[in-house]
Structure 1
Amino acid sequence: MTPLLKGTVVLVQKNSLHFNAHSAAQKFGGFIESVIDAPDDIDDSILDTVDSFLSNSVALRLISASNSNENGQGKVGKQTFLEGVLTSIPTLEDKQTAFNILFEWDHNMGIPGAFYIENFKQDEFFLVSLTLEDVPKHGNLNFVCNSWVYNVEKYKTDRIFFTNKTYIPNETPFPLVYYIHEELKTLRGDGTGERQVWERIYDYDVYNDLGEPDKDDTLARPTLGGSSTLPYPRRGRTGRKPTEKDPKSESRSGYFYIPRDELLGHVESSDFLVDVFKLVSQNVIPQIRSVDQPEFNTFEDVLSLFYGESSNFSVPKVIQVDHSAWMTDEEFAREMIAGVNPNVIEKLSEFPPESKVDRQLYGDNTTTITKEQLEANMDGVNVEQAIQNNRLYILDHYDSLFPFLRKINATGAKAYATRTILFLQDDGTLKPLAIELSIPHPKGDIFGPVSKVYLPATEGVEASIWLLAKAYVVVNDSCYHQLISHWLHTHAVVEPFIIATKRHLSVVHPIHKLLLPHYRNTMNINAGARNTLISAAGIIESTYLLGKYTMEMSAVVYKDWVFTQAGLPTDLIKRGVAVEDPSSPYGLRLLIEDYPYAVDGLEIWAAIKSWVEEYVNFYYKSDATIVHDSQLQAFWKEVVEVGHGDLKNATWWFKMQTRAELIEACSILIWIASTLHASVNFGQYPYGGYIVNRPTKSRRFMPEEGSPEYEELAKDYEKAYLSTITPKNETLLNMTVMEVLSTHVSDEQYLGHRIEGDLWTSDSQPIEAYKRFGSKLAEIEKKLIERNNDETLRNRYGPVKMPYTILYPSSEAGLTFRGIPNSISI
């Protein structure tokens, strides 16, 4: 009699995953709920019964990892079907079902290393895992699957899953090599055809699907990527037909292909965020645009959104303690190092600051700020002394914006390129010294800018002018934040790494296992963004200053992106806010000692780097093993030459020849996907939900003395300020989106935790190392809490009394202003 191997299959049926996007949207309680009526839930009668799985509907075949057939491929066992339902497993999550399965498997077959699965049902299901008990000469075997399985007729090749063992290519059991190669070949596809919902193919394309020229000529947008003029990271290929008016543009349909396992419909709420964006796009935007909202006339009008009888929005943290502290110069400056965009400020190393704007095209763009203007408010220190002692800093939103200003201001916006110079005071806080506002010369670009410098003032109309000058700076910072710091430098740059990983690193490869948690839901959320957020006339174009030039500007900025400088220590040194110091923790010394983002971030960075170093060194014993890892080399080559192919000739790319390079590359990638994204994402509503603190548009120029606008400013500065910044319609839409973006879902996976628990690998040392990583993050969180209780660190809470909690690693669900998810999942 042939011996039997006992197994347990855990899966989730499609219809038990019913999740109502409309009811999910109502969790946010705000403007969405007021414009959308939730439909009735789907009737429970449509749900499949468990019994349907027990009628020869799902079959499995084990594949040997130790014994081969005559072709050198692992032997394949007999087909066997799911049997009875197990109800005695207490660890099953909600909606999961466990089934018995028995495999015929004798000693000649060796030890299983993979299995085929066939679904003969019409509906797909989500396969969680297979566990084999008491495998001879081995013990239990775990297969972590977490994948959608469709009807067999949907696939050209058999669905296959591998054990949780981990191998570099040279150490992979030979009987599995064929199956691993075939699976990777399936995932790469052939680069043709329109992708279908059940497919699992990972491929690249340019950003040519943001416009809709067939609908309206004004909705045409240039292709981003594939040119030196507008370079861009690649996105996932969908293969949709070209538009009729522009063969280079891809048509937009209601369906955006994402490789099926990137769409996390098996969990309670990860996917509903994308659905919320769709609801906002299809319902909220038209609703807002169809209603002529009265303008805000006073700051109290804005506050009524949170405190009035019919308020729909949560109170942003920036005004929870004090409604007017945001107006102070200290808070204006503090948010440059502890706000939602804390990684742009630079040390001023020379005066005047140098502009990189092309002089032949745009004339002389040298600043008009003088030393005398700065020194008037520098506590007796002159400019030379301040530069020598690292006390002058700049928030420079000039070079990236100035070439676009003439086009932007022709659309109805009234924007300036801005330079803001700040002084580091003895108490560790930053003080703004001067703001320069510049617009193109009316006679033409070659004549250079028309610039004016504004200095701090506390009384009379000059104080109102100064408040407006700060608003123009923040408008630019809000746009740069959303477009560059958030979208480009996290969402967009990570997607090519995901695609290359899935195309070239097998699921049993150690680097695939290392990076997998940090890719969770990113392609899904990016596709949703292309559909509703960054598309032509979408939410970002509608609510931010740059309008239809939004994405075009991000492509210009991408030219200067450097992956090897994206890790925190290198970034801080590049911006001049830190200097190398081998005697200091982390090998550098911060020049702004009380720099909350940098101080907290360095703790997280060091923990990530330590974990990655221990992990990589466990699997790679020498640099030679890096060089000879064929999958790793193919992965890196494709990231550089295809995924980020427009920058492939840059000399800064790692050569991927040493363990040190692999460790640094993985640490940077994990940092971007987790901590960097958290730092620029989850503070959006806490800081920007109160639009007067972080306006996103400017629609009037600075009033000139003697003009009606100047008189209005002198009489009623609140009305004049509100008439200058984002109007009410766009404010409501922006608040709705920011509240969604700043909210943690209930099934979020945070840094230091994995959805697979301890089953992600069978190697005990990496598992223990990962546990130490999680414990280290918990220790860091306690340290950050203590740091926020130190009242001598004024930049940690500021005049608004808002502690810097954004980099606490853990969080519960909701709008918490804390928590570092593993991945860019929103």
Structure 2
Amino acid sequence: MSGKIGDAISDQDAKTIKIKGRVVVMKKNVLAFNDFNSSFVDTFDELVGTRVCFQLIGSQHPDPSGSKGKLGSPAYLEDWIATITVINPGESAFDITFDWDEAHGVPGAFVIKNFYDSEFYLKTLTLLDVPGNGDIQFICNSWVYPVDKYTMDRVFFSNNTYLPSETPGPLIGYREEELANLRGSGTGMRLEWDRVYDYDFYNDLGDPDRNIKTARPVLGGSTEFPYPRRGRTGRPPTQTDPATESRLPRFVLDIYVPRDESFGHLKESDFLYFGLRALVQFLLPAFEAIFDSTPNEFDTFDDVLKLYEGGFKLPEGPLLDNIRKNIPPELLNELIRIDAQGFAKFPMPAVIKEDLTAWRTDEEFAREMLAGMNPVSIALLREYPPKSKLNVEVYGNQDSSITKFHIHNQLDGLTVDEAMETNRLFILDHHDALMPYLSRINASTKTIYATRTLLFLQNDGTLKPLVIELSLPHPEGDEYGAINKVYTPAAEGTVEGSIWQLAKAYVAVNDQGVHQLVSHWLNTHASIEPFIIATNRHLSVLHPVHRLLHPHFRDTMNLNASGRQILANAGGIIELTMFPGKYSMEMSSAVYKSWVFPEQALPADLIKRGMAIEDCNSPHGLRLLIEDYPYANDGLDIWSAIKTWVTEYCNLYYKTDDMVQNDNELQRWWTEVREVGHGDKKNEGWWPKMQTCQELIDSCTIIIWVASALHAAINFGQYEYAGYIPNRPTLSRRPMPEPDTPEYEELKTDPDGVFLKTITPQLTTLLDMATIEILATHPTDEVYLGQRDNPDWTKDTEALEAFERFNKKLEDVAKNIDDRNKDGKNKNRNGLVKIPYTLLYPTSEPGRTGKGIPNSISM
């Protein structure tokens, strides 16, 4: 007998050995800000004894009574280990000893039964010095509820990685049962302890029972309103509309998501959860109270600066007392800095920190299209003048009215044709996406234009805005086409210069709405959720692709659920602050009609927008048409690092295309992503068919890119640029002043006042600033690209080595970013506002830093 578990052992030779283990758990009230009512006790003493039972499962010899691996004898937690230095704050470790029959083979999984009366968070089980196998790691990271909450045993697997066909026979049944449990029955209302991943439409945005004005169309499941699917809660329908799911009360964020998708890794990670709730429940009423007796306008730019320098006074009384009482001090100090006198102020946004007026320049206006918070909308101008793709029968003639005359003298001596031929003309086009909604939006108190902005690439690599076109629907009906007005740059200090500043503001309003609703919400948050659901339903935790993708899904479902509850819902923060108002989510649905999964790859996106062309002699196989395009420069480095890592990792497990085709879990996963998760796109021919290793690599690279780097580039610069609302206004409320009108005369005498009365008012500004500051803040427990929250996430040495190479490559990318920002010839990387481009810098410190790529859409 060799003494190594796993060797062939006859029953008569088998013996029972003792295997020591260590269990790491986390107290429930460590994982929530104010969960002081938790029934979980302040010590772990009561866990010791027979309250928590562990049984190891052998991975090599099935039980004679069935095909599953043999269960070992029950084992229970022993002494609390208080001296282990590796334990993080809030975690505690226990000894455990297993009596293990060597005839069962190497332990490959375990069953846990919680006979306690409350749940707890199980982080890891480590079997120590298993004969012939060393330490065996089980990475759990899961809530374990009392046994009476489950219909099936909770099973956890070791950090071995197996394709379905390579899974040890005794573990196959457990693997399949666990996936079946995660898929659920598809019926009933989900409860807190459920671990079921299922799909639903976006039918939870409206509240028709409250008011007909708060009814919203169902997004998803129709050609009129297609949309990605979201996680199903199973709440009952409203009484008014059976197609609409009933909503929770306004201030409640305890929306069902599978329990392990909920926030609460460390105390600080709940900043978003409680921050959003505090914003809606306490701060919004306080903001409203401020303006009950004062005009809801900024009169001067100095009034805006007071939000940062002097602060604003919250009214004394029960409302302020309620804020101080109910918002945890650590959150209050970060969310809104309220001093003892009740003055609150925001941090100074980076866009005005170095220069108070540089944001108003044409140079900065153009630079932010390449290096700001929405650098994914600018495109090469391919035809002059620009033409619309809207249906002529419905919307009439929507082509541009810009002529060569408008720009011919601004092209550094080139003709328009020469500028087109040399790829020097670019466009920020928000016309077709917005025009179908303008009549309805402008029926309220807003005046929104659909905009086209043309820009010229100058010899120094910077862009110069040439012309802005503002368009409105024809007053006699959409079918009569657009009414276009064209504006060109003019000298500052003139009325024409003030008109030009307003034209840029209308463009910024468009771009801010498209950024938030399309670039940010639709293209990252909403589009990723179906992949999360399908992965958990069909890819076992033992599956290599699950291990690859799972870190990039952390917190996203919970964040999206909170977003649907108080951000994207009827009357929510997005509708209150963004120009489309009640049509916000519907407008993003219209854009989803043209969403194409392969085009979410950065190289494909750049080529589609004409910002790059294929060139095998250039780095990354692309040549950028704007050499100094910070988002693309840094993004391509990140993209290449991700793709190299994914390629190396996938090649460890899939040696041939046949292995991809014969992987039943992988094929079911991909089929469900296409046909259910993105079911409104299931008949599109562009979906990868998942028949080759390359298709698997490409698809996983896109998923990781979108969930990590793309979201970081779109999200974490929000406060630095839009925290100063004149730079990125969210609303426009007045039309462009016309000659011979009182508004035009006012513009001559008080251009700043007219500008501020046109854009977002005070109350909306405060609400918007408070929201984006929360969203742009990194929690202290953030896990960044190239990192894992546990170094033992896999047992495969080759995978760990490949991951280490990935991490080293990201360190090189960080150095390249620093070098680019220091290089004076790269004028687009800092600009006149002196903000270095760091949105794709891989790591960050906690807080609002304007850099760092989290693994997932976690904020």
- Give the direction of change, closer, same or farther, for the CA distance of 1:160–1:44 in structure 2 (3 Å limit): closer
Are residues 1:63 and 2:57 paired?
yes
CA distance in 1, matches of 2:40, 2:175: 38
Are residues 1:302 and 2:307 paired?
no
Please say if residues 304 and 311 of structure 1, whose CA atoms lie closer than 8 Å, have aligned partners that are also in contact: no
CA distance in 2, matches of 1:540, 1:224: 16
Give the letter for the 1:53 counterpart: L
User: Percent of pairs identical after alignment?
Assistant: 56
Are residues 1:239 and 2:272 paired?
no
Q: CA deviation at 1:289?
A: 3.0
Deviation digits for residues 403-434 of structure 1 (CA, Å, limit 9, x no counterpart): 00000000211001000000001111101110
Counterpart of 1:53 in structure 2 is 47
Gaps of 5+ in 2: 1-14, 312-342
Please say if residues 24 and 91 of structure 2, whose CA atoms lie closer than 8 Å, have aligned partners that are also in contact: yes
Q: CA deviation at 1:48?
A: 3.1
TM-score, with length taken from structure 2: 0.92
CA distance in 1, matches of 2:266, 2:111: 24
Counterpart of 1:397 in structure 2 is 430
Q: Aligned ranges for residues 167-206 of structure 1 at < 5 Å? A: 167-206=162-201
Are residues 1:125 and 2:125 paired?
no
Deviation digits for residues 82-115 of structure 1 (CA, Å, limit 9, x no counterpart): 1122233211111111111111112211111000
Q: State which drifts further: 84-93 or 295-304.
A: 84-93
Q: CA deviation at 1:123?
A: 1.1
SS in 2 for 1:64: strand
- Give the direction of change, closer, same or farther, for the CA distance of 1:506–1:44 in structure 2 (3 Å limit): closer
Counterpart of 2:384 in structure 1 is 351
Q: State which drifts further: 374-383 or 469-478.
A: 374-383
CA distance in 1, matches of 2:522, 2:283: 25
Counterpart of 2:145 in structure 1 is 150
Give the letter for the 1:373 counterpart: H
Please say if residues 16 and 48 of structure 1, whose CA atoms lie closer than 8 Å, have aligned partners that are also in contact: no
Counterpart of 1:269 in structure 2 is 268
Gaps of 5+ in 1: 22-41
SS in 2 for 1:376: helix
Please say if residues 40 and 118 of structure 2, whose CA atoms lie closer than 8 Å, have aligned partners that are also in contact: no
Q: CA deviation at 1:45?
A: 11
Give the letter for the 1:7 counterpart: G
Please say if residues 59 and 105 of structure 2, whose CA atoms lie closer than 8 Å, have aligned partners that are also in contact: yes
Are residues 1:336 and 2:393 paired?
no
Are residues 1:653 and 2:655 paired?
no
Are residues 1:73 and 2:68 paired?
yes
In the alignment, which of 440, 443, 446 is matched to residue 410 of structure 1?
A: 443
CA distance in 1, matches of 2:53, 2:433: 57
Counterpart of 1:807 in structure 2 is 840
Q: CA deviation at 1:18?
A: 4.6
SS in 2 for 1:82: strand
Please say if residues 776 and 848 of structure 2, whose CA atoms lie closer than 8 Å, have aligned partners that are also in contact: yes
Q: Aligned ranges for residues 443-522 of structure 1 at < 5 Å? A: 443-459=476-492, 460-522=494-556
Please say if residues 16 and 47 of structure 1, whose CA atoms lie closer than 8 Å, have aligned partners that are also in contact: no
Counterpart of 2:697 in structure 1 is 663
Q: Aligned ranges for residues 217-296 of structure 1 at < 5 Å? A: 217-253=212-248, 254=252, 255-292=254-291, 293-294=294-295, 295-296=297-298
Give the letter for the 2:585 counterpart: M
Counterpart of 1:606 in structure 2 is 640
Q: Aligned ranges for residues 616-627 of structure 1 at < 5 Å? A: 616-627=650-661
Counterpart of 2:604 in structure 1 is 570
CA distance in 1, matches of 2:799, 2:826: 38
Please say if residues 14 and 123 of structure 1, whose CA atoms lie closer than 8 Å, have aligned partners that are also in contact: no
Please say if residues 270 and 521 of structure 1, whose CA atoms lie closer than 8 Å, have aligned partners that are also in contact: no
CA distance in 2, matches of 1:554, 1:46: 43
How many pairs were matched up?
805
The root-mean-square deviation of aligned C-alpha atoms, in Å, is 1.3
CA distance in 2, matches of 1:480, 1:646: 22
CA distance in 2, matches of 1:50, 1:257: 28
Please say if residues 31 and 266 of structure 2, whose CA atoms lie closer than 8 Å, have aligned partners that are also in contact: yes
Counterpart of 1:430 in structure 2 is 463
CA distance in 1, matches of 2:573, 2:664: 43
In the alignment, which of 822, 835, 842 is matched to residue 789 of structure 1?
A: 822
Deviation digits for residues 92-143 of structure 1 (CA, Å, limit 9, x no counterpart): 1111111111111122111110000000111100001111122233222110
Q: CA deviation at 1:311?
A: 5.6
Deviation digits for residues 554-578 of structure 1 (CA, Å, limit 9, x no counterpart): 0010010111011111110010010
CA distance in 2, matches of 1:45, 1:247: 37
CA distance in 2, matches of 1:495, 1:46: 31
Q: CA deviation at 1:673?
A: 0.4
Counterpart of 1:313 in structure 2 is 346
Please say if residues 30 and 267 of structure 2, whose CA atoms lie closer than 8 Å, have aligned partners that are also in contact: no
Q: CA deviation at 1:446?
A: 1.3
Give the letter for the 1:542 counterpart: L
TM-score, with length taken from structure 1: 0.96
In the alignment, which of 702, 708, 727 is matched to residue 736 of structure 2?
A: 702
In the alignment, which of 59, 66, 79 is matched to residue 84 of structure 1?
A: 79
Please say if residues 180 and 537 of structure 2, whose CA atoms lie closer than 8 Å, have aligned partners that are also in contact: yes
CA distance in 1, matches of 2:117, 2:591: 48
CA distance in 2, matches of 1:44, 1:133: 33
Q: CA deviation at 1:352?
A: 1.8
Please say if residues 378 and 427 of structure 2, whose CA atoms lie closer than 8 Å, have aligned partners that are also in contact: yes
Please say if residues 144 and 164 of structure 1, whose CA atoms lie closer than 8 Å, have aligned partners that are also in contact: yes
CA distance in 1, matches of 2:354, 2:18: 67
Q: Aligned ranges for residues 517-556 of structure 1 at < 5 Å? A: 517-556=551-590
CA distance in 2, matches of 1:657, 1:44: 49
Counterpart of 1:24 in structure 2 is none
Give the letter for the 2:288 counterpart: R
Deviation digits for residues 755-795 of structure 1 (CA, Å, limit 9, x no counterpart): 012x1110001101111111111111111111101111111
CA distance in 2, matches of 1:463, 1:499: 52
Q: CA deviation at 1:259?
A: 0.3
Are residues 1:745 and 2:779 paired?
yes
In the alignment, which of 17, 36, 45 is matched to residue 3 of structure 1?
A: 17
SS in 1 for 2:571: coil
CA distance in 2, matches of 1:614, 1:583: 23
- Give the direction of change, closer, same or farther, for the CA distance of 1:196–1:804 in structure 2 (3 Å limit): same
CA distance in 1, matches of 2:416, 2:32: 64
